[in-house]
Every structure is written in structure tokens, then in C-alpha cells.
Amino acid sequence: MEFTATVYQALARKVAFKLQRIGATGVYGDDYRHKTLWDEYCHEIQEGPYELLETAWETVESIFNSIVEAVPPEEAVLLTIGAMWDLDEYEDVSSVQRPTIYPDLIRHRLRQAVSELAGARNMARFDPTGSG
């Protein structure tokens, strides 16, 4: 479980890195001083969710998908087991008889790790009131 926790944190940082390379969409208007999609994603996690903006996150989903697809199969098996454990998807993880990969479960757990990373980020400098 320690291995999978470490890998999920590394994958979450990889998502953040990719989002930091994409300019802000401006979905929150001119009041906020977001420079990157990562800034906007952190805002969404900390202040949202905003129903009207769900379609704005297609780029984010494609990044999640590409990162999960790039995970080697032998690691994906372990990440699946870790996700089962972390997300309480199965009562008894030891009941899995053969190596199984569930990309949707890995993606779900990765989203959780990215949300934790985004939620912990100090967003004060983007505050439109200028108090940051």
C-alpha cells in the first residue's frame, strides 16, 4: 500500500506538471489572476464544483487518461489493488485471484490524489480582492 500511495502521489504531480504547461482558459473571468489550467483546476477543487464548467475540463480528463494509459501493466495491477483498498471498492482485496487491471478505478484514485494536491495548494495570490 505504501508503494501505491507513493506512485499515486507521483502520478498526481505529473498531472499537475502537465496542467501547469497549459494556459488558463479564463473560465472564471478576469477577476482571478489564473495563469495556467492548474491554477483553474485548483480553484475548482477548492471553491467548486461549478456545474456550468464541467465541459471545460475535457483537457484535464485527456491528461488523466494519457497518464493512466502509460502506466506499465505490472504497475497497473498494483495500482488497481491499491485503489481497491483505498476506495473500499472490494471487501477483500485478497479475493482477487489473478492479476487484474481496472483503468477506471486507477483513474478514480488518481483523481482523488490530484484533488488532494490541488486542495492543499495556497491560492491566496489569485484572490480577486487582492488580499493574496
8 A C-beta contact, residue 12 and residue 113: yes
- In a 3-state reduction of DSSP, which class is residue 102? coil
pLDDT digits (tens, 9 = 90+) for 45-103: 998 877 656 666 788 899 999 999 999 999 999 999 889 888 776 555 555 566 688 99
Cα dihedral sign for 98, 103, 106, 108?
negative
Q: Is residue 42 domain-resident?
A: yes
Q: How many domains does the structure of the chain reveal?
A: 1
| 0.95 surpassed by pTM | no
pLDDT at 92 (0 to 100)? 54
Q: What is the DSSP letter of 48?
A: -
Dist. CA 94–CA 33, nearest whole Å: 48
Residues of the domain holding 101 = 2-126
Q: Is residue 19 part of a domain?
A: yes
> Exposed, middle or buried: residue 54 (CB in 10 Å: 0-12, 13-18, 19+)?
exposed
The one-letter code for the residue type at 79 is L
Confirm whether 103 is domain-assigned.
Answer: yes
From the list 44, 41, 34, the residue with the least C-alpha distance to 125 is: 34
Confirm whether 20 is domain-assigned.
yes
